[in-house]
Amino acid sequence: MLHDQDLVSVQEVRSKVDQAFTAWQTYRNFTQEQIDAVVEAVAAKGRAHARRLAEMAVEETGMGNVADKYTKNMLTADLLPRTIRGVRTIGVLREIPELRVTEVGAGVGVVAAICPTTNPTSTVFFKTIISLKSGNAVVLSPHPRAKNCTCAAAALMAEAVAEAGAPAGIVQCLGSSTLEGTQALMKHPKVGVILATGGAGMVRAAYSSGKPAFGVGPGNVPILLDSSADITEAVGRIVDGKSFDFGTVCSSEQTVVAERQLRDQILSQFKAQKAYLLTDDQRKAVERTLFSGGTTVRADCVGKSPQRIAQMAGFSVADDVRILLAEIAGVGKEHPLSAEKLSPVLAILFTDGFDACMDACESILRFGGLGHTSVIHAKDEAKVRRFGLRMPSFRVLVNTASPAGSVGITTGLQPSMTLGCGAMAGNSTSDNVGPLHLINTKRIAWAIRSAEEALPLTPEPAAAPAGIDKAQLVAAVERYLAQKGVMVGGAASSAPAPAVRDTIAGVVDRFLAVKKPPEAAPPGPSCGCGVKTAEPQPEAARPEARKAEIPAPAVEIVDFVCEADVRAAINQKRKIFIGPKTIVTPSALELSGRDEILVRAER
């Protein structure tokens, strides 16, 4: 019997992945209608137990609050299934008649679902529902500090699946979750894809496992509170977002940025909305309490109430305080509260002008939140557009609390608990992950055109280069052919036959298509350092070469050169002299290049 916990965990991984994979062999043949029935049953079970599981999560982890944990459970068990209802994921997805293409969806197999301690039960609902909707099996790996509530939620999902007629084992949860076990799960050969939610180390491990993976980056969300906004409404939404589940959502507000001229009005509204403004000494105490090793949040501060954090920092606040508010002077390591805080602590920074506000918001994103989420509260649509186009974040929210907007509660975004941050943050997607990310798409494509129709092999007739008349070229070719007797009936005085005339025009077109202007003379010699050296003097300029010039021999410049002429010249080891008006067929031009048979001369 195994007693080593790591070995027990690894063995459990092997067993449960095998069971999930076996169940998937049956589930993969379910119709879309059968799959949708399973999803509806799972969602209904989640809704029925959403409150109890929220209570379990808070009790076990000590993070967040029951009301907001319940909201997150309902997001994934109610809004998510309603949003994806009717979405096709398996079998024929769509037909494209004009292209004669049929798209067919297929699941990827077993999904390895890593669950966090901050959102344990809602993540189980979310990852189970999107895995089943996309025709896959799922193996859930709990965080050790949230194992009981995670496994309880998974057991309910498995119960609902069985009641709906899905194969036993399609939903699995690891009861002996360890780091080694989680790594074994991510690397298991029967796992098709990884859904990783957790710390940066876990996400990196998922991407380095050799499996396709969807991970997320950290969120350090800036909020631009513009002068065009309704300040009262905007501050209310910001406090709602920051206090939601005591700041455990990765898209929670982190630092508000506003113009200095609005300072008194904004701070007054925050106080009216039950925000406690820290003194300078209290701010420093909170910084020392929240962070270890620079800007790493202490685990015992994550998701704690503002009253608890104040107590840990050595002071007290009233019971009705919703968030702690700290004014900071800049962004970066010298200002720790400009980083992600995972708690109901909000920073605020005042600067001069809208452009300076955008500069600060971009700096905040680059200080630990690249690609995630940014927010602007404004009525000026031109400013909203400028902000949205500039921010290096893939969710730009307008006039909403950030947690609710980012996960699709108050916006039209895909309801999701996995928010991709794109390539700039090392993620494989910038989307709110949903069921369509967990399928592969096959395409049945009929031939609709020939290769010649798609990629014409015959060049279009070329226009004559400047100074060359196409009609004169055709006439010159006709005269040459007349000398050779290539005419109707063989009579030299006859007009060319139509077929011959068409052939002549085609030859001229090809000639013009390949005719190139003379290449420019090569530059003078160089030593390689970018400075030209002196060019050699012409032979006639040298004193020892000043001899009487010998006249060049007379040459015969021909009017027309074909491939046969070039071959004959090669065999006879002679040159062919051509002038500006000489017609050279493309094949003759190509053949002559190897032996430099053609020599350009003037008449």
Length of the chain as a residue count: 603
The residues pairing with 235 across neighbouring beta strands, listed in sequence order, are: none
Phi-psi region of 596 (alpha: psi -120 to 50; beta: other; left: phi over 0): left
Residue 272 sits in the same domain as residue 153 = no
Dihedral sign for Cα 303, 305, 311, 317, please. Answer: positive
Confidence of residue 543 (pLDDT cuts 50, 70, 90): very low
Q: Are residues 49 and 159 in the same domain?
A: yes
Q: What CATH number does residue 370 fall under?
A: 3.40.309.10
DSSP 111-178: EEEE--SSSHHHHHHHHHHHHHHTT-EEEEE--GGGHHHHHHHHHHHHHHHHHTTPPTTSEEE-SS--
Residue 348, classed as helix, strand or coil, is strand
Is residue 11 assigned to a domain?
A: yes
Are 136 and 438 within 8 A, CB to CB? yes
395 touches 419 (CB < 8 A): yes
Q: Are residues 183 and 271 in the same domain?
A: no
- 59 and 192 both lie in a single domain: yes
Which amino acid, 415? P
Q: Is residue 321 part of a domain?
A: yes
Tokens 């027990």 belong to: 8
Which of 125, 55, 56 shows the shortest CA–CA distance to 416?
125
Encoded amino acid at 26, one letter: T
Residue 470 domain-assigned (yes or no): no
Our CA angle for 322, 324, 329, nearest 5°, is: 150
**Would you state the pLDDT for residue 539?**
46
Q: How far apart are the first and last CA of the chain?
A: 103
Q: Is residue 456 a part of any domain in this protein?
A: no
Question: Is there a single domain that holds both residue 208 and residue 247?
Answer: no
What confidence score (pLDDT) does residue 493 get? 43
pLDDT at residue 586 greater than cutoff 80: no
pLDDT band at 526 (very low <50, low <70, confident <90, very high): very low
CA–CA gap between residue 184 and residue 10 (Å, rounded): 6
More confident of the two residues 200 and 414: 414
148 and 204 in a common domain: yes
For the chain, how many structural domains are there in total? Answer: 2
User: Tens of pLDDT along 196-240?
Assistant: 887 677 777 888 888 899 988 889 999 999 999 999 999 999 999
Indicate if 230 and 207 belong to the same structural domain: no
Whose CA is closest to 250, among 173, 343, 185, 321?
A: 343
pLDDT band, very low/low/confident/very high, at 514 (cuts 50, 70, 90) = low
Q: Report which of residues 538 and 415 the model is more confident about.
A: 415
Nearest in space to 345 (alpha carbons), one of 253, 281, 265, 236: 253
Q: Is residue 264 part of a domain?
A: yes
One domain, residues 255 and 312: yes
- pLDDT score, position 486: 58
| Whether residue 226 sits in one domain with residue 104 | no
CATH of residue 40's domain is 3.40.605.10
Among 149, 151, 250, 301, the active-site one is 250
Q: What is the mean pLDDT of residues 312-338?
A: 97
Range in 178-182, 195-199, 307-311, 467-471 the model is least confident about: 467-471
Q: Give the pLDDT mean for 160-188.
A: 93
Q: Which of 8-12, 371-375, 529-533 has the highest mean pLDDT?
A: 371-375
Residue span of the structural domain in which 182 resides: 5-215+438-445
Question: Is residue 490 domain-resident?
Answer: no
Assess contact for 228 and 378: CB atoms under 8 A: yes
The four Cα atoms 435, 440, 445, 451 give a dihedral, to 10 degrees, of 120
Burial class (CB in 10 A: 0-12, 13-18, 19+), 593: exposed
Verify that 132 and 278 share a domain, yes or no.
no
Please give the structure tokens belonging to residue 510.
């090809």
Same domain, 142 and 289: no
Average pLDDT of the residues in 175-191: 91
Per-residue model confidence as pLDDT tens digits over 24-57: 999 999 999 999 999 999 999 999 999 999 999 9
Flag whether 114 is in a domain.
yes
Q: Are residues 256 and 292 in the same domain?
A: yes
Our answer to whether residue 527 is catalytic in this structure is no
In a domain, 329, yes or no: yes
- Which stretch of 201-215, 436-450, 580-594 has the lowest confidence by average pLDDT? 580-594
Q: Which of 366, 394, 411 is the last residue of a domain?
A: 411
Q: Which two tokens stand for residue 251?
A: 């898209």
